[in-house]
């Protein structure tokens, strides 16, 4: 009985707290719309990722809405928050790096060091990765899963970047470039002279690809064995 009393007392407090927080956001949006406009999209991304377990489909749906669909569609019903099931994703098949030799082994060990230990003291939980580490993993995974390469627009869109003007397109290019430079440095440490082919094309249609099909396939195997693979959305032809 004591347990039920505790719950009955906590539930009204939780509802009251949610209401007060909702009111706080409304006041913020009304009194300082400029700062709200800048920060709210990222808060929404964090909420959707937390609620859906970083479901790539939900992430992609939200990005389309933030990009343009908000003009004609309400947010209500866009994402099924109440259908969330916790996704402690098990690796499809953990690679035994000891079976590999030479440069292949060095590359896999570099990836393990970079993305298993994480970027800080939070020991490997990809949900706690710093933004630049998350960006690098997504860029690596998206390029690895496509033999013919990936457009800069697809990469940037799935990194949560919207394209409203020339400045935002330059920003997208800089984010992708920074991720590739960091990954290239790790590849060089592993003994790979070049991991990515020179990019082809311009703007959002610029194509990014691996320089070696063998390394691409090996990297994809590693990506598919990593719990953070759910951050890498499958490309669609829709």
> How does pLDDT run across 8-25, given as a tens digit for each residue?
455 678 788 888 989 999
**Residue 35: what pLDDT?**
87
Which uninterrupted H or E stretch holds 151? strand 150-151
So what's the pLDDT on residue 119?
44
47: number of Cβ within 10 Å: 13
DSSP-derived letter for residue 101 is -
pLDDT at site 90 = 47
What is the DSSP code string of 180-224? HHHHHHHHHHTT-S-SBPPPBSSGGG-EE-BS-HHHHHHHHHHHH
**φ, ψ dihedrals at 85, nearest 5°:** -125, 130
For residue 207, the model assigns a pLDDT of 95
Structure tokens of 122?
């939070």
Q: Which two tokens stand for residue 199?
A: 């990019």
With CA atoms as reference, report the closest residue to 195 among 175, 179, 177, 216: 216
Is residue 118 a contact partner of residue 124, using CB atoms and an 8 Å limit?
Answer: yes
Going from N- to C-terminal start, the domains of the chain cover: 2-83, 97-231
**Segments of the chain scoring below 70 in pLDDT:** 1-11, 53-54, 56, 82-93, 117-124, 234-238
* Cβ count within 10 A of residue 61: 16
Q: Is the dihedral of CA 163, 168, 169, 173 positive or negative?
A: negative
The structure's pTM equals 0.63
132 vs 151: CA distance, rounded Å: 19
The tens digit of pLDDT for each residue in 161-189 reads 877 778 888 888 999 999 999 999 999 99
- ∠ Cα 102 105 108 (to 5°): 150
Confidence (pLDDT) at 152: 92
């Amino acid at each position: 009985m004591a347990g039920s009393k505790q719950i009955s007392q906590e539930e009204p407090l939780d509802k009251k707290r949610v209401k007060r927080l909702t009111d706080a956001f409304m006041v913020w949006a009304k009194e300082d719309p400029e700062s709200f406009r800048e920060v709210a999209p990222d808060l929404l991304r964090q909420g959707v990722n937390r609620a859906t377990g970083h479901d790539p489909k939900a992430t992609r749906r939200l990005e389309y809405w933030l990009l343009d669909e908000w003009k004609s569609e309400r947010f209500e019903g866009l994402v099924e928050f109440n259908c969330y099931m916790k996704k402690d994703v098990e690796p499809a098949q953990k690679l035994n790096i000891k079976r590999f030799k030479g440069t292949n082994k060095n590359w896999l060990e570099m990836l393990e060091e970079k993305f298993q230990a994480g970027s800080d003291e939070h020991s490997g939980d990809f949900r706690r990765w710093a933004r630049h580490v998350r960006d690098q993993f997504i860029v690596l995974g998206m390029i690895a899963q496509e033999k013919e390469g990936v457009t800069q627009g697809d990469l940037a869109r799935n990194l949560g970047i919207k394209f409203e003007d020339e400045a935002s397109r330059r920003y997208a290019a800089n984010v992708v470039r920074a991720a590739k430079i960091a990954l290239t440095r790790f590849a060089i440490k592993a003994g790979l002279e070049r991991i990515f082919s020179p990019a082809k094309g311009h703007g959002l249609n610029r194509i990014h690809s691996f320089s070696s099909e063998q390394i691409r396939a090996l990297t994809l195997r590693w990506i598919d064995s990593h719990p953070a693979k759910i951050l890498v959305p499958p490309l669609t032809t829709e």
